Structure 1
Amino acid sequence: MATATAAVGLAATPAAAAPAPAAPAARQTAQPGQACTAADLGKRQPVIKSTEVAPVITHFKGWYVTEGTTGSQTISTSTQTTISVSVGLNGNVQGSFAVETLGTVGATLGLNVQVNYTSTSSVSNSITWNFSQPGYYGLYKGTKKVTGTYGSLNCNRVQQGDGSYALKWVQGPDGGSYTTYTTLEEGAVRCEDKVPANSIMAKAQSLLDCGSTTATAQRAAGPVPSAKAAAARHTVGSAAKSAKSTPATAPTTRAALACGTDAYKIAVPGQPLSWGAPLLASDGVRLRPSTIFSAHLDNWRLCNVTEHDGVLEASLWNWGNGGCATIAAQNAANEGAALTTAPCAEDDLQRFYLYRDVPGSGKIGLQNKYTGYMIGHDRYADGEFLRQYSSGRPDGTGTYDLVKV
Structure 2
Amino acid sequence: MRRRESALRHLSARAGTLLLIASAAVALQTGTAHADDENPEGQPCIWYDPAPSMVISAGWQPVITHYAAFTIADGTAGERTDTLSITNTVTTTVAGSAEISNAGNAILKKVGVKVGFSVQTTKSTTSTESTTMRWSFNKPGHYGLFRGTRAATGIAQTYWCNGFFGTWARDARVVYTTYGYMETGTVSCAEPAPDWHDYTVRAQARRELDC
Q: Is the 8 A contact 2:62 2:199 kept in 1?
A: yes
Q: Which has the higher helix share?
A: 2
Q: SS at the partner of 1:54?
A: strand
Look up the equivalent residue of 2:209 and give its one-letter code. Answer: L
Q: Is the 8 A contact 1:32 1:169 kept in 2?
A: no
Q: State the distance in 2 between where 1:34 and 1:77 align.
A: 48
For 1:86, the equivalent position in structure 2 comes to 93
Q: SS at the partner of 1:97?
A: helix
Q: 1:181 aligns with which of 170, 179, 182?
A: 179
Q: State the distance in 1 between where 2:200 and 2:113 align.
A: 21
Which consecutive residues of structure 1, in runs of 5 or more, have no partner in the other structure?
1-28, 158-165, 211-405
Q: State the distance in 1 between where 2:64 and 2:203 align.
A: 10
For 2:71, the equivalent position in structure 1 comes to 64
Look up the equivalent residue of 1:50 and give its one-letter code. Answer: S
Deviations 1:14-36 (A, max 9, x none): xxxxxxxxxxxxxxx97215874
Which consecutive residues of structure 2, in runs of 5 or more, have no partner in the other structure?
1-35
Deviations 1:205-233 (A, max 9, x none): 122222xxxxxxxxxxxxxxxxxxxxxxx
Q: SS at the partner of 2:121?
A: coil
For 1:118, the equivalent position in structure 2 comes to 124
Offset, 1:146: 0.9
Offset, 1:130: 1.5
Q: Is the 8 A contact 2:91 2:177 kept in 1?
A: yes
Offset, 1:127: 1.1
Look up the equivalent residue of 1:109 and give its one-letter code. Answer: V
Look up the equivalent residue of 1:46 and give its one-letter code. Answer: S
Q: How many residues align?
A: 172
Q: SS at the partner of 2:46?
A: helix
Offset, 1:78: 0.8
Counterpart check, 1:98 vs 2:127: no
Q: Is the 8 A contact 1:57 1:142 kept in 2?
A: yes
- TM-score, normalised to structure 2's length? 0.72
For 1:201, the equivalent position in structure 2 comes to 202
Q: Is the 8 A contact 2:159 2:171 kept in 1?
A: no
Look up the equivalent residue of 2:128 and give its one-letter code. Answer: S
Q: State the distance in 1 between where 2:105 and 2:111 align.
A: 10
> Relative contact order (alpha carbons < 8 A, sep ≥ 6): 1 or 2 greater?
2
Q: SS at the partner of 1:203?
A: helix
- Structure 1 residues 30 and 205, CA gap change in structure 2 (3 angstroms): closer
State the Cα RMSD in Å.
Answer: 2.5
4+ aligned runs moved over 3 Å, structure 1: 33-38, 40-43, 153-157, 166-170
Deviations 1:22-76 (A, max 9, x none): xxxxxxx972158744436754112111112011111111111222221221111
- Bigger radius of gyration, 1 or 2? 1
Q: 2:52 aligns with which of 26, 45, 67?
A: 45
- TM-score, normalised to structure 1's length? 0.39
Q: State the distance in 2 between where 1:33 and 1:124 align.
A: 42
